[in-house]
Amino acid sequence: MLATCARCRATPAVTRRLIETSLREARGPRPPAPQLSDLTERKLAVLQLTAHGMSNAEIADARVVSHSTANTRVAHVCAKLGVRDRVQAGVVTPGAGSPDHPAID
């Protein structure tokens, strides 16, 4: 006798197929990869500093802009790349964290 799920009375094989199908449908098509070439030179520099682990206040000091301007640029970079936050933005940045990062003087 095959074991079944106590609540739904489905065999493990049926349950596994149901889960696999649901996951496949939930994933859907993958979004296009973020395009760094779409960023202006200023926004790219902000992205590189963010990827290097700088806070918005540190970015403001490094770029000689106000704190609110740094906040806005970080938000615009995230929106343009279609990422949720600065961590995801850092992940998509090539060379992030490298000591010879081009945006870091």
Nearest to 39 by CA among 96, 80, 91, 85: 80
**69 in the same domain as 42:** yes
- Flag whether the pTM goes above 0.75: no
**56 in the same domain as 26:** no
pLDDT in 10s for each residue of the chain, 105 residues: 445 555 656 678 877 887 887 777 666 665 555 677 778 888 888 988 988 888 999 999 999 999 999 999 999 998 888 888 888 887 777 665 455 544 444
Q: Give the pLDDT confidence score for residue 91 in this predicted structure.
A: 78
Structure tokens at 32: 């296009």
Q: Give the pLDDT confidence score for residue 104 in this predicted structure.
A: 43
Indicate whether 16 belongs to any domain.
Answer: yes
In terms of residue numbers, what domain contains 50? 36-91
Structure tokens at 28: 């859907």
DSSP classification of residue 99 = T
**78 in the same domain as 42:** yes
**Distance in angstroms (rounded) separating the CA atoms of residues 37 and 18:** 41
Indicate whether 44 belongs to any domain.
Answer: yes
**84 in the same domain as 68:** yes
**40 in the same domain as 25:** no
Q: Give the pLDDT confidence score for residue 88 in this predicted structure.
A: 84
